[in-house]
Amino acid sequence: MLSRSLVRLSRSNGKNRFPSVVSYNRLPWEQLAAHSNQVHAAVSPHYDQILSLASQRKLPQLVKEEHIQIPELHQLRLLPGTVYIMKHSEGGHAQPIPNWEKKLVTDSHATQYYGSVGLLHHLNVAEIATFVSPDLRIYCNAVTVTPSGRQAASDAPLKSSSIGEIGVDGGFTIFQYYRPNRPAAEIVKPLMAFYRHVPTLSVVNDFAGKSWTPRLDAPVRSPTAKVTPNKPFVPPQSYLYGLAERRAVIPGDSYGRRSLMWGNWF
């Protein structure tokens, strides 16, 4: 009986061997779990940008007539990072790849992040689903929106032949493939392509009609000004020196035993 308790105690202590050490493998690169709500929190704000840009500009390769057909051996290499929009079918989400499991996202803690899509773009988020590959190595986030009264440009992809007139055929679906248990930066990185990374000069436009020449004046120094003297260094009084940061010690100064501070604590 005693041996069993000792084994259990040793196992419990081994899990948290260094409790005070910072876990650098999670912060700030914390990996998002497969079915975590943080995945939707990280992805949903960028869907707003996709719809905003798609209603004003023509985005090639965004709107698809049908799902991408990739052999199963190459799916793990090619599918993660793929984002496209497809016309929404009447029976629900069109199955992106056969034999993938469909899981509806109904938790309010996850669907709350898509509220801005409906408010900003006058759309109704009809359904949110997650498609999982048989080997659980690829996930697909599918967000279906219903018709809206949003005015889009005539040549915008939302008006193209694959989706048709929005508001007539039942809306469309945004598909995004990603690898689970990865950092949020990796999942969001493919969506960064839908932002305009172009500097704007709108702040400088106010000076267009004004004649103004920048002039750099020479610095003026008072003849009686003096340089601030350095703080005199106070040598340590004993080997029990304490915190070096408390005494404002500069690395390299001689303040005591070398084994006290820098090699162990800092």
**Does the pLDDT of residue 24 top 60, yes or no?**
no
- CA pair distance 57, 124, nearest whole angstrom: 22
Cβ 193 vs Cβ 94: under 8 Å: no
With pLDDT > 90 as the criterion, what percentage of the chain qualifies? 29
Question: Domain residues of the chain, as ranges?
Answer: 32-196
pLDDT greater at residue 167 or residue 183:
183
What backbone phi and psi angles, to 5 degrees, belong to 184?
-65, -35
Cβ 47 vs Cβ 174: under 8 Å: yes
**Does the pLDDT of residue 167 top 60, yes or no?**
no
**Does the pLDDT of residue 196 top 70, yes or no?**
yes
**Per-residue CA distances from 166 to 48, 66, 151, 175 (Å):** 17, 17, 10, 17
Say what the pLDDT of residue 162 is.
Answer: 43
pLDDT greater at residue 248 or residue 36:
36
- For residue 72, give the nearest of 154, 143, 161, 137 by alpha carbon: 137
What are 83-134's pLDDT values in tens digits? 998 877 655 556 889 899 999 999 999 999 998 776 666 678 889 999 999 9
Give the global pTM: 0.61
